[in-house]
Copies of this chain bind each other. A is one copy, B any other.
């Protein structure tokens, strides 16, 4: 039985890690930290986990306490805010832990990108270089050997899963690529704020960060790697009226006269033997729907060609807390620990309706 720690376990991502690992056959959570709930049982933050854990949240105030608080585990999940995780990662590596970092602090490869998107100078370029971006459908071999995995952003994940197979084949006009994401309220985390207050959020459909959203940097980085050229994406997330789900709708123009079958083959080849990607096509539902992956680590991927316009629409639907955060984090953990990629995740059949 492997032992793991979750640092910052009282938020929604921490809660989902606890939910998944509560029934993981080969891993157990031996430490969960929370400053707000320190000393309380984990069900104080996550009432649905009553009965699944006897664990109490521990307090962890700074990276120097990591060794003492987290102790002797095999791997640590850092579910901390951006810029906070930044300094925990070096310490965790130093004491020999494998790390899955759920913040954005080690996702980007180019130092200058941290200044542009996050407004700080990255203090650990050496560690950055070793970090592996954690989308197993793209980088499973690297993840297996990694000490540090930077878990991706949820909207980046859906966008990447939708576009990369087609972009990598050179099928689309990379100078004109639009991504429109629809995302649920849990994306913003467990902390109450005005825009997430139920009467404000329910029934809404509105864009946000429309002049530039940080997750686009992850998408552009991956596209750069898979196409060998710089790509700038017109990216806009939207808050819609649901709790979970990230649906990426990407649009571009076809570079040549390809058939729908060609497109389908591109996806099928790319996602061959990937246990959590379902390519959706034809009856009964021709396109992905976030509802079909609710509560699970699965992604639905699909597309449509509008021949009249020469346009392709590429879609991916995920559960933002699962395949977009905690689910993929456990998938990464499995790879890092040498376990089967889907261990503890295949039980989580989507809940629908």
List A residues 1-48 near B (Cβ within 8 Å).
12, 15, 19-20, 22-23, 43-48
Give the distance to chain B from A251, nearest Cβ to Cβ, in Å.
Answer: 5
B185 and A313 contacting across the interface, CB-CB below 8 Å: no
A178 and B251 contacting across the interface, CB-CB below 8 Å: yes
Give the distance to chain B from A5, nearest Cβ to Cβ, in Å.
Answer: 19
Contact A284:B44 (CB < 8 A) given known A12-B199, A278-B50: yes
List A residues 155-188 near B (Cβ within 8 Å).
176, 178, 180, 182, 184-186
CA distance in complex: A283, B195 (Å): 13
B349 and A309 contacting across the interface, CB-CB below 8 Å: no
Note all chain B residues with C-beta closer than 8 A to A185. 198-199, 202
A243 and B199 contacting across the interface, CB-CB below 8 Å: yes
A349 and B48 contacting across the interface, CB-CB below 8 Å: yes
Note all chain B residues with C-beta closer than 8 A to A249. 180, 207, 236, 238
- A336 is an interface residue with CB less than 8 A from chain B: no
Note all chain B residues with C-beta closer than 8 A to A292. 47-48, 50
* Chain A 236-249 interface mask (CB, 8 Å, partner B; 1/0): 10101111110101
Contact A48:B293 (CB < 8 A) given known A234-B251, A306-B212: yes
**Total count of chain A residues near the partner, CB < 8 A:** 96
- A143 is an interface residue with CB less than 8 A from chain B: no
- A203 is an interface residue with CB less than 8 A from chain B: yes
- A106 is an interface residue with CB less than 8 A from chain B: no
- A272 is an interface residue with CB less than 8 A from chain B: no
- A204 is an interface residue with CB less than 8 A from chain B: yes
A205 and B242 contacting across the interface, CB-CB below 8 Å: yes
CA distance in complex: A264, B229 (Å): 34
B243 and A206 contacting across the interface, CB-CB below 8 Å: no
- A287 is an interface residue with CB less than 8 A from chain B: yes
A351 and B351 contacting across the interface, CB-CB below 8 Å: yes
Contact A47:B317 (CB < 8 A) given known A210-B287, A295-B295: no
B198 and A347 contacting across the interface, CB-CB below 8 Å: no
* Selected A-B contacts with CB under 8 Å, 26 pairs: A12-B353, A19-B350, A19-B351, A23-B349, A45-B284, A47-B284, A47-B285, A48-B294, A48-B352, A190-B194, A196-B198, A203-B245, A205-B242, A205-B291, A206-B287, A206-B290, A207-B249, A207-B287, A207-B313, A232-B308, A232-B309, A234-B253, A236-B313, A241-B242, A243-B353, A294-B351
Q: Lowest 6 CB-CB distances: which A-B pairs, in order? A: A210-B304, A199-B353, A206-B289, A192-B192, A234-B311, A198-B201
